[in-house]
Structure 1
């Protein structure tokens, strides 16, 4: 028998807010987290892109210093978001062997790895920190969360580029259905705003170069879009069976109704242009939710603001929803918070849950002339969703042809 899985806690540290609720309010207000970078290395290395969307609140200012020192920034952000989410869920009392962690990252402890390399070259092997490997490994955020909350059911890590944390949520859904845990901390984190990644993404012409106006650089579906904006942060959702949530009197934001994961097997960076794999993931999520495309009332699009990627996603949505895709309120929230890579799907899942709960789709900022090849219903202001039951899908697609989609239903 299929179990009903619900979202009972949310936590986030993002470019537009230090908490999930602050981030949501900033999103509704149309704020942007993209800013010029104030680091010496920007000018020293003559980077072609001089802005990004850094976390608004530095995680080492929130965590105790001894804890922060032993964690890469990606793990710091993960722990900050997890602590908020667990507290928001009412700090459930649970057998540690029934508490699981499904986490993710796209790149992992990049700052730790590259700082250690600099130390080795400049100061020799004896000065490389003994905690370097435990700090840089991709499973470090999952391990940090597991150890902090004594989650012993399991602590798993997904690395599927920009689809990572949505895939982690699909895994959490499936693990709860399988009875591997009663409560799961699920999400993702990323802290990869580094000169190397900025240079590399810029070299492949994936980043916007609007250095003179960072706040308007991410422009999903706009005819003048020229690439995404690097972001950093973390987002965590507490998900559990409805039976467990009701038994402990938990508040419920929304239902995590289903998920789907597919692969394009097409190109290492470019999406399959007709949206075949992406549309299949949407269908799988709706099938798991016991729903049809006609029931969907809101879409949180991946929409990174790249010329090719945005249109490929539109093709996928047209495959699923047909002409009706022009009527469904669509939000492309990366325009505000940037692209958090492995952390972005979980953040957008939080925004999607709040959208169906509060009956309003968040705005898509910076669209001044909508691309005729992307005939979607978007708005630079929040859009009301109505009083009827809501069903939304949230899409995430990543380099390597990874597609992950979740369905979220109002309760």
Structure 2
């Protein structure tokens, strides 16, 4: 199988809409969480996002917000990788881009228009705006590429699964280059009400992963994208290599649709599978970007799984959700951008909001940005409703 490298990154987030600005904000402890405009639950909206940076006004009107995020992140990554003028074979470029929910803002608005005004009030673009594979299709059109293209939808594990699929696509020779990532835009009434009814949202409006006072997550929005490329292809065109994707692991809890298995077996299996895929030992791992949602169950169970898998070795652990909230289906891809950049810079981002570590979460917490020169291997964990778990192993270049 071919070695796979990362040559481009793109991000839309509550703390920055460009990879280096995003990571600088994380390292500085900047938070993108704000009170909701309508007095509801706190949220983490994409900061200063302008869809017309990458799309015409006409195309913006025909694209759901989640699709706008996807185009922005994907094109950022494409340009950082130097692919815009590289003359790559368009039939050898794949796109694996997912979402947990899809065009929710369009769905919610259209239902209101339909019930108030009838069928004639429904946009002819409704279907193509709300469908979950819209982002992959939009990017293929925008880039003019003809390789394998599909969407992944596995709740909050979506982004990690998309990267895992892209990794294998390139390893097995189905493409030379892949745009991999995920996007989500659900800061609207229905998801807010639904997660609130589930008791999943923080009543205090604070995201504090692994803190003993944590009481739920804060919902955010955004997108993340990576350009994955066969190493020989990247070297042949003189691309700058940011890092490597060296392993991927997945598992299923087969336990509950919304709660993780309290034994942590699924989370542990995903991490073990990622290490096996990477040909690595637990002691090789310097850092874990945790799923770390700030919910009582998830953080304790993930901590337990980390302790079990690493068996005395204590990799540094942080969760970016303390600063940007939970981006649902986009979380894994945005956190992958943070993880690969952490290895590139030799700096680990902290867990925002963490002041009183829960004794049940006995791991090496990164409380402030930490320099780790020479760090070689990191995992990015993502666990989704439905019991779907994924872990991606990244290596320094």
User: Which category describes the TM-score, using the shorter chain as reference length?
Assistant: over 0.9
CA distance in 2, matches of 1:185, 1:60: 19
Structure 1 regions of 5+ residues with no counterpart?
A: 212-216
Which of 361, 366, 384 in structure 2 is aligned with 1:398? Answer: 384
- Per-residue CA deviation, residues 262-311 of structure 1 (Å, 9 max, x unaligned), is 11100000001111111111111111111111111111100000001101
Distance 2:17 2:139 in 1: 18
1:348 and 2:342 are equivalent in the alignment: no
Deviation at residue 329 of structure 1 after TM alignment:
1.2
- TM-score using structure 2 length: 0.97
Q: By how many angstroms is 1:64 displaced?
A: 2.0
C-alpha distance in 1, partners of 2:179/2:94?
6
1:196 pairs with 2:190: yes
Pick from 215, 238, 248 the counterpart of residue 249 of structure 1: 238
- Offset, 1:364: 1.0
Alignment of 1:238 onto 2:227: yes
Shift of 1:61: 4.3
Question: Which of 58, 69, 74 matches 2:49?
Answer: 58
- Asked if 1:129 is matched to 2:123, the reply is yes
1:179-210, Cα deviation, whole Å (9 max, x unpaired): 11000000000001111111110111111122
SS at 2:365's partner residue?
coil
Q: Quote the Cα distance in structure 2 between the aligned partners of 1:177 and 1:4.
A: 7
User: How far apart in 2 are the matches of 1:254 and 1:270?
Assistant: 33
Give the match for residue 214 of structure 2.
225
Match of 1:14 in 2: 13
Does 2:191 match 1:208? no
How far apart in 2 are the matches of 1:14 and 1:403?
A: 23
CA contact (8 A) 1:13 1:57 kept: no
| Distance apart, 1:386 and its partner CA | 2.7
Q: Does the CA-based 8 Å contact 1:59-1:77 persist in structure 2?
A: no
Q: Does residue 145 of the first structure (1) align with residue 136 of the second (2)?
A: no
Which residue, 232, 244, 265 being the options, matches 1:276?
265
Deviations 1:68-103 (A, max 9, x none): 111000000000111111000002321111000011
Contiguous gaps of at least 5 residues in structure 2: none
* Residues matched between the structures, number: 394
Residue 260 of structure 1 and its aligned partner are, at CA, apart by 0.8
| Cα distance in 1, alignment partners of residues 227 and 51 from structure 2 | 23
Alpha-carbon distance between aligned partners in 2 of 1:233 and 1:391, rounded to the nearest angstrom: 26
Question: Partners in 1 of 2:108 and 2:218 — Cα distance?
Answer: 22
SS in 2 for 1:395: strand
Alpha-carbon separation, structure 2, partners of 1:255 and 1:349 = 11
1:57 Cα deviation after fit: 2.3
Let me know the Cα RMSD of the aligned residues.
Answer: 1.1
Indicate which of 343, 354, 361 corresponds to 1:374.
361
Supply the distance in 2 between the matched residues of 1:344 and 1:407 (Cα, whole angstroms). Answer: 16
Q: Which residue of 2 aligns with 1:304?
A: 293
CA contact (8 A) 1:329 1:383 kept: no
1:86 aligned onto 2:78 = yes
Q: CA deviation at 1:379?
A: 2.8
Distance 1:218 1:93 in 2: 44
CA contact 1:30–1:380 (8 Å) conserved in 2? no
Q: Deviations over 1:351-399 (max 9, x none)?
A: 1111111111111121111100101111331112133x51001100000
CA distance in 1, matches of 2:157, 2:371: 28
**Matching residue of 1:171:** 165
2:275 — aligned with what? Answer: 286
The answer to whether the aligner puts 1:109 opposite 2:98 as a matched pair is no
Q: Contact 2:307–2:363 at 8 Å: present in 1 too?
A: no
Q: Distance in 2 between matches of 1:165 and 1:287?
A: 20
Secondary structure of the corresponding residue to residue 381 of structure 2? strand
Query: CA offsets per residue over residues 234-255 of structure 1, 9 Å max, x none?
Result: 1110000100000000011111
- After TM superposition, the structure 1 stretch with the greater mean CA deviation from structure 2, 394-403 or 112-121, is 112-121
4+ residue runs over 3 A deviation: none
For residues 176 and 386 of structure 2, the distance between their equivalents in structure 1, rounded to whole angstroms, comes to 32
State the Cα distance separating 1:154 from its structure 2 match. Answer: 1.4
